[in-house]
Amino acid sequence: MRDHTKEKAMAGPRPVVMSGPSGAGKSTLLKKLLKEFDGVFGFSVSHTTRSPRPGEEDGKDYHYVTREVMQADVAKGEFLENAEFSGNMYGTSKAAVQAVQAQNLICILDIDMQGVKNIKRTDLNPIYVSIQPPSMQTLEKRLRDRKTESEESLQKRLHAAKVDMEISKEPGLFDVLIINDDLDLAYGKLKDALLEEIQKVRDTNNS
């Protein structure tokens, strides 16, 4: 039998992978995109074993699950990719991406560096965007001011950030690299990079 998965994936708009150190501003930027371009972008809701933060909603920010459930679902082949980050499991289910693509929306994935490397082995064919902080000092300040992490979790994220910032320099890994210093400037660059894809969705959905 012919495999139609690839054709189906390629028929819709290209997904967007946003990666970069924890605290670089990925969620802030993608929330702005989802708000400004309602009906163009859709968020791939990942699974995680970490606890919800105040204000986060199950099924919207993440699907919050136990390690047992997540491991079983990974074993069943339900995930496109999954990774361990800062002591918790995270993963993109095939259903999360399909739910967005079924609506002919640009699917946005917010994933770590291991996720980027694993997605490269699939046929998702996304645009890879790296969001980087202006410096380690700024990153630390933003993470502290966000007040979501314990000191231990903060240190783990800062360590992972150093590794991430090194690997991000690898030529060809990302299509677009954005330094999130001034938020409006960074958001403008992100929109510019995605303009062509945004236009395609608007043309298709208006015709």
Ligand X SMILES: Nc1nc2c(ncn2[C@@H]2O[C@H](COP(=O)(O)OP(=O)(O)O)[C@@H](O)[C@H]2O)c(=O)[nH]1
Ligand Y SMILES: Nc1ncnc2c1ncn2[C@@H]1O[C@H](COP(=O)(O)OP(=O)(O)O)[C@@H](O)[C@H]1O
Q: Which residues are catalytic?
A: 53, 146, 157
Question: Taking CB under 6 A as the rule, which mask of x and - marks residues 115-154 in contact with ligand X?
Answer: x---------------------------------------
- Judged by CB under 6 A, the stretch of 6-14, 20-28, 166-174, 188-196 that binds ligand Y is 20-28
Q: Does 73 bind ligand X (CB under 6 A)?
A: no
CA atoms within 13 A on the CB side of 92: 25
Q: Which DSSP helix (H) or strand (E) runs through 140?
A: helix 136-146
Residue among 77 and 203 whose Cβ is closer to ligand X: 77
Tokens, residue 146 = 């966000």
CB contact at 8 A, 148 and 22:
no
Q: Does 136 bind ligand Y (CB under 6 A)?
A: no
The CA distance from 147 to 42, in Å, is: 27
Number of other residues whose CB lies within 10 A of the CB of residue 2: 6
Residues 6+ apart with CB under 8 A from 8: 101
CB under 5 to 8 A by kind: which of ligand Y, ligand X, none does 183 bind? ligand Y
Q: Does 91 bind ligand X (CB under 6 A)?
A: yes
CB under 5 to 8 A by kind: which of ligand Y, ligand X, none does 69 bind? none
- Judged by CB under 6 A, the stretch of 19-27, 79-87, 92-100, 162-170 that binds ligand Y is 19-27
Q: Does 111 bind ligand X (CB under 6 A)?
A: yes
- Judged by CB under 6 A, the stretch of 108-116, 180-188, 189-197, 199-207 that binds ligand X is 108-116
- Judged by CB under 6 A, the stretch of 21-29, 46-54, 115-123, 163-171 that binds ligand Y is 21-29
CB contact at 8 A, 55 and 147:
no
Q: Does 63 bind ligand Y (CB under 6 A)?
A: no
CA distances to 17, 20, 158 from 174, rounded to whole Å, are 9, 10, 21
Q: Does 183 bind ligand Y (CB under 6 A)?
A: yes
Tokens, residue 7 = 């054709």
Q: Does 92 bind ligand X (CB under 6 A)?
A: yes
CB of 7 to ligand Y, least distance (A): 33
Closest among 55, 25, 30 to 42, alpha carbons compared: 30
CB of 152 to ligand Y, least distance (A): 17
Tokens, residue 178 = 């954005």
Tokens, residue 184 = 């409006």
